[in-house]
A and B are shown apart, each in its own frame.
Chain A
Amino acid sequence: MNAVRRPALASFGFAGFIPVLATFFMAILMLLPLGTGAANIAMPHLVLASTFYWLSSRAILLPYGACAILGVFLDLWLDVPMGMNMLLLILTRLFVLNQLKHYKGRSRFVHWAVFTVLALALYLLSWLISSAVHGTMIPPEPIALQWMVTSFSYAPIGFLMGRLRRAAM
């Protein structure tokens, strides 16, 4: 009867939208021509890193609907098979909600390692999906490179998002 009530989304006020807005901003950053052609490979999946961070710290503020909408926009903007990023972000939420109990409160290094393993599985899945849609095996090297860049980028993104969280919430 006296169970502790978890905070509702509305109780955060405007700050409750920060995870969605920050991740949306990351989606736009992913489109910027930072060196154009080369950036196609070198640009990390900022949205995935941001989504994982916010789900690991404030999962309530990034519901399934928000993940799906972010994924749809990303699919449209990146011109990748429709539903691919949507599926990746929803799977990320599903994974975090089920596994958070194992790494919550652990060091940043553990979070980073979990993200790296999760990103590997998601990139593998997206490689299979993309190859199936194109009807040919897409070379795995650029995808492996992007996975590595994304994994390394989690540390600075996590740091920035952490600062933002502490400043706004």
Chain B
Amino acid sequence: MLLSIALLTFELMGSGVPHQVRAYANDIVSPVLRVLEQPIRAVQAGLERIAGVSDIYLENTTLKDENDRLRQWREAAMQLSRENERLRQMLKVPVREVPPAATTRVIGVGGGAFERSVLIGAGSADGLMRGSPVIDETGVVGRVIQVGRWTSRVLLVTDINSRVPVRLERTGDLAIAEGQNEQLLRLRFLPQGAQVRVGDRLLTSGHGGAFPPDVPVARVTEVVDDFILMEPIGLLGKLDYVRVMAYNPVPDAVFDDADDQGEQQ
């Protein structure tokens, strides 16, 4: 009892267990999780297949239409990409594409109702670093906060400690997308007079160097005066494969300094 109270007191003072200890604890349990998740994935896939059989004809027709539309878009996108590349070369603008450091699976969750994080099956052995942004096929998922040898913990954008610098795609206004430990994010620090509408998309602004610019983050779902709620674009409710980006312009020392400041506060 005394030990637990002492540990909690250390946490309150900000000098809790080092990140590395937690990361190694995750490494220990990861082989068991990898084994146990196999039957769960199989059952989930089976259930999805059963649920999908009934409307397979309708889905096929919809996909054919979508495929035709996407082909046209692809041609337009390739043409724009070529033109963009030529202009970049002419103006000597550096390339902004960020290569992936690893593509991996979510092998565990954590935090319960208190924190929003997931455990992924890649670690320092795969070249991951603390602070690396994590995305899925639709948008930002979160960033790496603990790196073990074979596993890493990703703090989701919905966590109460998550802050993502964003800009409104339509107007270019800058703001911060803040997690609330709930399904929706809150938009804060928006400039006075900024016009926000339901349905507006928010992209990473690239400020602070934590995330590369122009990655989709969230879509506005509710605007009541200054209280703006957004739904994350990343499929946080059904994460499977995620991509960790090889983007770490903020040196690790900054995170350590931030931790130190947190301890002092």
Interface residues of A, Cβ cutoff 8 Å to B: 28-41, 43, 45, 68, 71, 73, 76-84, 86-87, 90-91, 94, 126-127, 129-130, 132-136, 138-139, 141-143, 145-146
Contacts and interface: CB of A to CB of B under 8 A. Distances in A.
Specify which of B113, B114, B158, B240 lies most central, judged by the most chain A CB atoms within 10 Å of its CB: B113
Given A32-B37, A36-B239, A76-B22, A146 B110 contact: no
B36 to A, nearest CB: 6
A69 B119 CA distance: 21
Contacts of B106: 33, 36
B25 A77 contact: yes
A94 to B, nearest CB: 8
Query: A-side binding surface: helix, strand, loop or mixed?
Result: helix
B122 interface: no
Contacts of B116: 37, 40
Contacts of A94: 1
Contacts of A76: 17, 21-22, 25-26
A37 B158 contact: yes
A62 to B, nearest CB: 15
A82 B161 contact: no
Contacts of A45: 112
B238 A36 contact: yes
Interface stretch (B8-16, B192-200, B211-219): B8-16
B40 A34 contact: yes
A136 B37 contact: no
A141 B40 contact: no
Given A36-B236, A40-B116, A80-B115, A31 B11 contact: no
25 contacts: A28-B32, A28-B33, A30-B112, A31-B110, A33-B37, A34-B109, A35-B237, A37-B116, A37-B118, A38-B237, A40-B109, A40-B110, A40-B113, A40-B116, A41-B112, A43-B112, A45-B112, A68-B3, A76-B26, A78-B110, A81-B8, A82-B11, A83-B5, A134-B161, A146-B113
Contact of B118 (A33, A68, A86, A135): A33
Interface in B159-211: 160-161, 180-182
Contact of A133 (B4, B12, B17, B156): B12
Given A78-B110, A126-B114, A31 B160 contact: no
B146 interface: yes
B7 interface: yes
B246 to A, nearest CB: 23
B169 to A, nearest CB: 24
Interface residues of B, number: 51
A87 to B, nearest CB: 4
Contacts of B36: 28-29, 32
A37 B156 contact: yes
Contacts of A31: 29, 33, 108-110, 119
A77 B160 contact: no
B133 to A, nearest CB: 17
Contacts of A139: 160, 180-182
Contact of A79 (B4, B8, B10, B146): B146
Specify which of A28, A40, A45, A76 lies most central, judged by the most chain B CB atoms within 10 Å of its CB: A40
A130 B117 CA distance: 15
A33 B113 contact: no
Specify which of B4, B10, B107, B238 lies most central, judged by the most chain A CB atoms within 10 Å of its CB: B4
Contacts of A141: 182
Given A32-B33, A78-B112, A71 B4 contact: yes
Specify which of B36, B110, B112 lies most central, judged by the most chain A CB atoms within 10 Å of its CB: B112
B113 A143 contact: yes
B46 to A, nearest CB: 14
A48 to B, nearest CB: 11
A84 B22 CA distance: 15
